[in-house]
Amino acid sequence: MYPLIDRPTRVTPTTATLIDNIFTNVLTHQIKSGVCVVGLTDHFPIFQCTKSMALRFIQPHIGTTRTYNQSSIEHFYNHLKLIDWKFVTDMTSADGSYEAFVSKFLRIYNTYFPVKARGTRNSRNRHIPRKPWITSLILKSIHRKEKLYRKYIGHPSPSNKNAYISYRNKLTTLIRAAKKNHYANKLENCKHNTKLIWNTLNDILGRNNKHPLPSFFYDDNAHQEQIIDQNIIANKFNSYFANVGPSLARKIQTRGSNFHTFLHNINSPNNSLFFTPTDPEEIIDICRSFKSGKSSGFDEIQPDIVKYVRSIISSPLSHIINLSLTTGIVPNQFKMAKVIPIFKNDDRHKFCNYRPISI
């Protein structure tokens, strides 16, 4: 085994020692290694870069986003006002009526709120997340501290040491005060919202459960074979979630009783159920009660936008819902949901350790 690091990894005013190292049994010009002079700890970080065709690199997923601003929302609203929804209200099929409505709605929606790839920010710090309390001025001070540290390490004189330590301590105090003020303001702004309070407290305590899915999963039916294809992983999740209910139902012992046994006065009209037809006014009232900031479903339509244009689309929506009630047919798109796997516990690479959240 050969060492790759040949420079000190811990430097003090009186000593310079090589404590940390990387060892390899392969010597090639394609291996590059070195030491980063950064004041994270009293030991310098070390690194090794290897170029090898045997390694499989997974390209980072570049997500998509939509831009919503007051101007685009107003244009969207005005465009919808010009639509004659007669082609929807003349239909007698609940499924066809909703497909015609949502198809027209989405065409206009995508025009004013197009899907765009998130910016990659081709800067050298694009992979470094910045804490919300780290302002641009504090960031400049951090860079200043690193310069003082490198000067102190290069020339470990008492004056350089005192200059670095003094600046570092003042910066640490400033960052702690900025962090404290950030969370104090955040708690003050959400003091009437219990959910946001708990989200903030969990963030302070480091109990954030939002972890990305692992890059591979185990196939329980194939001797723990690793699955890395994203489409296969999605289908495996779908199969597992879809069969949880039937699997549990098969384990329940049936008593052989008829359902009439549990119903009394089944022929009494007082125990019947009747749906009153809806109207545009009821649709408007229901949309008005939507909570802001809720997530979109599989169609990616933001509930806040629906709430804003509720008066325009209330008539075709009430027609579709009344058709569904009178014909007993639920539009197929009403049955679709965006299902998100949420990790429970144990091994993150097994499908059975996740629960579904449907939006």
Domain stop point among 55, 72, 99 = 55
**Cβ burial, residue 171 (10 Å; 0-12/13-18/19+):** middle
- Length of the chain measured in residues: 359
Residue 266 covered by a domain: no
Structure confidence at residue 297 (pLDDT)? 87
- Give the whole-angstrom CA distance, residue 10 versus residue 43: 5
Same domain, residue pair 41 and 89: no
Same domain, residue pair 202 and 221: no
The answer, yes or no, to whether residue 350 has pLDDT greater than 60, is yes
Structure confidence at residue 219 (pLDDT)? 82
Residue 172 covered by a domain: yes
> What are the tens digits of pLDDT across the range 271-309?
667 788 999 999 999 999 988 878 888 888 999 999 999
Number of domains within the chain: 4
Q: What is the DSSP string of 179-232?
A: HHHHHHHHHHHTTT-HHHHHHHHHHHTT-----PPPS-EEETTTTSEEE--HHH
> What are the tens digits of pLDDT across the range 94-128?
999 999 999 999 999 999 999 887 654 444 445 55
8 Å CB contact between 43 and 21: no
Residue 232 covered by a domain: yes
Within 13 Å and on the Cβ side, how many CA atoms surround 17?
7
Same domain, residue pair 113 and 229: no
More confident residue, 60 or 148: 148
Residue 240 covered by a domain: yes
Same domain, residue pair 193 and 168: yes
The answer, yes or no, to whether residue 81 has pLDDT greater than 60, is yes
What integer best gives the mean pLDDT of the chain? 86
Residue 297 covered by a domain: yes
Domain extent for 44: 1-55
DSSP H helices in 26-120 = 70-81, 86-89, 94-112
8 Å CB contact between 88 and 48: no
Residue 127 covered by a domain: no
- Give the whole-angstrom CA distance, residue 153 versus residue 9: 11
23 beta partners: 3
Same domain, residue pair 230 and 352: yes
Same domain, residue pair 242 and 348: yes
- pTM of the predicted structure, to 2 decimals: 0.62
Same domain, residue pair 200 and 315: no
Residue 313 covered by a domain: yes
Segment 335-355 mean pLDDT: 90
Same domain, residue pair 146 and 202: yes
The alpha carbon of residue 237 and the mean position of all alpha carbons in its chain are separated, in whole angstroms, by: 18
Same domain, residue pair 242 and 222: yes
Same domain, residue pair 35 and 156: no
Structure confidence at residue 123 (pLDDT)? 45
- Give the whole-angstrom CA distance, residue 238 versus residue 341: 10
Same domain, residue pair 199 and 148: yes
- The b/e string for 320-348 (b: 16+ C-beta within 10 A; e otherwise) is bbbbbbeeeeebeeeeeeeeebeeeeeee
Structure confidence at residue 209 (pLDDT)? 61
Domain stop point among 55, 72, 90 = 55
> What are the tens digits of pLDDT across the range 305-325?
999 999 999 999 999 999 999
Same domain, residue pair 181 and 233: no
Residue 15 covered by a domain: yes
More confident residue, 279 or 196: 279
